[in-house]
Amino acid sequence: MKETIYSYDDLLVMLDHFLSDESKFNWDVFYSDRERGIPFFENYPDENLAEYLKTKIIKAGKVLELGCGPGRNAIYLAENGFLVDAVDQSEVGLSWGKERAFEQKVSVNFIRQNIFDLHIEEGSYDLVYDSGCFHHIPPHRRMDYIELVKRALKPGGHFALTCFVVGGKLGGAGISDWEVYRGRSMRGGLGFTQEKLREIFRDFESVEIRKMRDKTSDQRLFGTSELLAGLFKK
């Protein structure tokens, strides 16, 4: 392995290597057992996303979903008139999403790709949505993540995400960014506070940051107070 740093990309690769054990997590295996009883495996949208549409804070347009998994939010958005590009690295997750979209007779452009390798037209999306991807992004990739969102959004477009709260039951390591590299681990996913999200996404207007509202499957929405929901505007 080359161990000389000539460029910013070389630096990122080095830091990726420090966290290589976590990068071995296999999302195809994770999505392969559909009967595991994991709440977000159910084909219901995030409650915050449904609220944004119901209150018309967000209106139909073109959306990029980062880390779409089996496509529950992408399908919901397509059903509500959005043109949807949904990205994930898991072939198994995307195959499940395609089955769901076919069954529900909606069109979603599922893309198998690392989000940092995406080639997108600048300013082409009204909404960028992320349900549970951001807390798995290592700190050294965060700047590129923010630039991706900025590049994707039209002026006045919205960015929304859900992520682990610090110390939550689902995950949410309460460690500093430096500690990630001291321990060479993100401990399954980083936890965030409202204040930290505002600071990280300070280049955007903060519209709302709150805990998700707890929902049950009979309400046909996904929601848990173990996650934060944030909405920002470019």
Least confident of 3-7, 88-92, 208-212: 3-7
- Give 188's pLDDT tier (boundaries 50, 70, 90): very high
- Give 40's pLDDT tier (boundaries 50, 70, 90): confident
- With respect to residue 13, please indicate whether it lies within any of the assigned structural domains: yes
The residues near 11 (Cβ < 8 Å, ≥ 6 apart) are: 5, 140
d(C-alpha 48, C-alpha 45), whole Å:
9
d(C-alpha 141, C-alpha 137), whole Å:
6
Whether 21 shows a pLDDT value over 70: the answer reads: no
Indicate which CATH number applies to the domain containing 142.
Answer: 3.40.50.150
Whether 39 shows a pLDDT value over 90: the answer reads: no
- With respect to residue 170, please indicate whether it lies within any of the assigned structural domains: no
pTM (predicted TM-score): 0.95
Res 41: pLDDT: 83
- Ramachandran region, residue 75 (left: φ > 0; alpha: ψ -120 to 50; beta: rest): alpha
d(C-alpha 112, C-alpha 31), whole Å:
15
- With respect to residue 20, please indicate whether it lies within any of the assigned structural domains: yes
- With respect to residue 76, please indicate whether it lies within any of the assigned structural domains: yes
Q: 76: domain range?
A: 8-163+192-233
Q: Tell me the residue type at 96.
A: W
- Structural domain total, the chain: 1
In which element (H, E) is residue 120 found?
none
